């Protein structure tokens, strides 16, 4: 396993390139504009490591790898640089419901802007890192730079689009099989750009979390994955997921 020695920061290749990042709209344009260049430094922290395998870092609290916590006041929004983040919500009965995953290049917590508080908790699965955009300074800078504002509009509009698509992929699938097929295609598509492959990706999330998210039992997920392998739709060894036939998978999505 290619494990580049670690924590004096991973190899560059583990990070998504800025060109593939959702946050680009409010990071990069300012690079080209000399006058605004300084602005990003007021709100942006690049590639902050968030690690669930080590003891908790400088972040506020309890659980290791926790990026932010449900119901806490909004401080910053993020984009994922590396790793995978799990979004979940504590329920009245104490159990947790996984409400989503975020992959490198994707935005995180932007839906907290409306009520100024986080709607779910986010935790890194294994090692991860994020770019952090602090909201208060961003707002201040936006007053000064109209371009920044219109870029923020673009960013939110794009996110609205992505979210709609991701959710359409999952609502109202009649069988678990269709649901899983849609999920696998969805996550591979979302990882395609930065991994350079439409068919291969590491499945870092645990079966429990995936099953929780999809609303099926661990056991069912296990059986479905086994069936998909038998039928040569996917191959799955360890964490390595490979889609063997995208078209065949698509044909399983009968909503």
Q: Which member of 162, 177, 198, 200 binds DNA (CB under 7 A)?
A: 177
Least separation in angstroms between residue 99's CB and a copy of itself is: 5
Burial tier of 233 (Cβ tally within 10 Å: 0-12, 13-18, 19+): buried
Per-residue exposure over 189-218, b if at least 16 CB sit within 10 Å of its own CB, e if not: bbbebbbeeeeebebbbeeebbbbbbebee
Whether 152 and 233 have beta carbons less than 8 Å apart is answered as no
Per rule CB under 7 A, is residue 176 in the interface with DNA?
yes
Per rule CB under 8 A, is residue 208 in the interface with a copy of itself?
no
Q: Which CB atom, from 22 or from 129, has the smaller least distance to a copy of itself?
A: 22
Q: What angle do CA 138, 144, 150 make, to 5 degrees?
A: 70
Per rule CB under 8 A, is residue 225 in the interface with a copy of itself?
no
Ranges within 86-145 binding a copy of itself (CB under 8 A): 89, 91, 93, 97-99, 110-115, 119, 142
* Residue owning tokens 């350079």: 196
Per rule CB under 7 A, is residue 226 in the interface with DNA?
yes
Cα R_g (the chain), whole angstroms: 19
**CA of 69: how far to CAs of 64, 65, 154, 223, in Å?**
12, 11, 26, 33
Site string (29-58) toward DNA, x via CB under 7 A: ------------------------------
Least separation in angstroms between residue 100's CB and a copy of itself is: 8
Q: Which does 242 bind (CB under 5 to 8 A by kind): a copy of itself, DNA, none?
A: none
Provide the 3-class DSSP secondary structure of residue 126: strand
Provide the 3-class DSSP secondary structure of residue 131: strand
Q: Which CB atom, from 42 or from 54, has the smaller least distance to a copy of itself?
A: 42
Q: Which member of 9, 31, 42, 174 binds a copy of itself (CB under 8 A)?
A: 174
Piece of 59-67, 190-198, 206-214, 245-253 that binds DNA (CB under 7 A): 206-214
Per rule CB under 8 A, is residue 192 in the interface with a copy of itself?
no
Q: Which does 54 bind (CB under 5 to 8 A by kind): a copy of itself, DNA, none?
A: none
């Amino acid at each position: 396993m290619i494990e580049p020695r670690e924590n004096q920061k991973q190899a560059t290749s583990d990070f998504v390139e800025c060109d593939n990042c959702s946050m680009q709209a409010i990071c990069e344009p300012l690079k080209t504009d000399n006058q605004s260049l300084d602005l990003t430094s007021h709100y942006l922290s690049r590639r902050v490591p968030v690690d669930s395998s080590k003891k908790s870092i400088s972040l506020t609290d309890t659980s290791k790898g926790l990026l932010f916590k449900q119901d806490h006041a909004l401080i910053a929004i993020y984009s994922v640089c590396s790793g995978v983040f799990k979004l979940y919500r504590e329920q009245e009965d104490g159990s947790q419901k996984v409400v989503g995953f975020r992959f490198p290049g994707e935005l995180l917590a932007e839906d907290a802007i409306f009520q100024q508080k986080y709607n779910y908790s986010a935790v890194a699965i294994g090692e991860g890192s994020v770019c952090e955009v602090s909201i208060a300074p961003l707002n201040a800078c936006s007053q000064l730079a109209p371009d920044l504002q219109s870029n923020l509009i673009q960013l939110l509009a794009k996110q609205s689009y992505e979210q709609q698509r991701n959710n359409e992929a999952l609502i109202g699938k009649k069988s678990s099989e269709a649901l899983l097929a849609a999920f696998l295609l969805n996550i591979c598509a979302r990882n395609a750009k930065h991994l350079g492959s439409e068919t291969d990706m590491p499945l870092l999330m645990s079966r429990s979390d995936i099953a929780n998210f999809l609303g099926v039992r661990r056991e069912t997920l296990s059986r479905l994955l086994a069936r998909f392998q038998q039928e040569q739709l996917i191959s799955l060894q360890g964490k390595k997921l490979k889609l063997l036939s995208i078209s065949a998978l698509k044909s399983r999505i009968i909503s």
